[in-house]
Amino acid sequence: MKAVRFYAPGEIRLEEVEIPQIAPDEILVKVKTALTCGTDVKMYKRGHPKVKPPITLGHEFAGTVAEVGETAADRFKVGDRVAVANSAPCNNCVFCKMGKQNLCDRLLETLIGFSVDGAFAEYIRVPARIVQQNTYKMPENVPFEEAALLEPLACAINGNDAANIKLGDFVVIIGSGPIGLTHLQLAKLKGASKVIVTDLKPERLRIARSLGADVVVDASKEDQVSRVKELTGGLGADVVIEAVGLPQTWELAFKLTRKAGTVLFFGGCPSGSRVTFDTERIHYEDLTLKGIFHHTPLTVLKAFKLISSGRFRGRPLITETMQLSNVEAALQKMGKGESLKIAIKP
């Protein structure tokens, strides 16, 4: 079969490799759609100290079951349409026991596209833990492109839960990429009275509008702090979600928040980044600053429900379709911000 293998930063190759063998508690999935993600772009550009190349990239995918191990046969059969998350927790380590399965000490053991060969390939082996906890049969009416959003949606839901948006809240989302557009939809579903989305690119802001943003702010032309102050009667937002991943936008998120408000830092900054916050504001203004990472089986379940019920609109997050032979071009395009997610069809 064909697979897109990562060898070193800036070096990926489309290769002919063996179809993976599965263990009795695993399944083999024929990939129908794999989506590009910012994480793939980072891996392509910079690699990762814990990744041992070569490895097949791609971790957001959906497809049909092509082979089922003996002990997985009670849950899946050949031909099932499935969406699969990119990892599953061990449920035995101290963080799993604390209820923080997103921080499982053994996460890397089953991390698809990182330690397990990924989905920019014709077939993918799904490790047992993921088969048991984070693989879902999708209804016929859900297209593979939307089913493939299971994992990024599960991460965003984990963030949305942490942000604790309440009925009537005024929410600001910094960044109108796939993650920001996902948070926009979740904030609306949680009952925010107004959601403002900011970005530098007008075409992304148009998508935010079409997905229900009440106000969009073109950060290349308008001052985001004064605009948000103006829209909130000088107060600032109840909840601000940073969905860019830069130190400047982390600091901006802090400035846009009202007294006793919450800032959710969702976008991961380049490693080694430092930010500066006014401690006086944090102390005297009761601010809540939250970080969040990854997903849990519960947020994957919630993502499955939102996708299969049609309450989450995934299609607008996918701007084009390419073949396996074009993954490198797709990652470059995404890296330049010229595209939202790109659907790869093996």
Residues that bind Zn ion (CB under 5 A): 37, 39, 89-90, 93, 96, 104
CB of 94 to Zn ion, least distance (A): 8
CB of 95 to Zn ion, least distance (A): 6
Query: Cβ atoms within 10 A of the Cβ of 93, count?
Result: 16
Cβ closest to Zn ion, residue 39 vs residue 257: 39
CA distances from 167 to 76, 170, 238, 293, 301 (A): 39, 9, 11, 24, 23
Cβ closest to Zn ion, residue 90 vs residue 282: 90
CB of 152 to Zn ion, least distance (A): 5
Of the candidates 160, 181, 157, which has an alpha carbon nearest to the alpha carbon of residue 290?
Answer: 160
Cβ closest to Zn ion, residue 93 vs residue 275: 93
Cβ closest to Zn ion, residue 182 vs residue 257: 182
**CA–CA–CA angle 89, 153, 134 (5° rounding):** 35
- CB-CB contact of 303 with 280 (8 Å): no
CB of 86 to Zn ion, least distance (A): 7
CB of 97 to Zn ion, least distance (A): 8
- CB-CB contact of 151 with 320 (8 Å): no
Cβ closest to Zn ion, residue 124 vs residue 217: 124
- CB-CB contact of 240 with 195 (8 Å): no
DSSP string, 24-84: TT-EEEEEEEEE--HHHHHHHHH--TT--SSEE---EEEEEEEEE-GGGTTT--TT-EEEE
CB of 155 to Zn ion, least distance (A): 7
- SS3 (DSSP) at 219: coil
Cβ closest to Zn ion, residue 92 vs residue 193: 92
Return the bridge partners of 242, or none.
174, 265
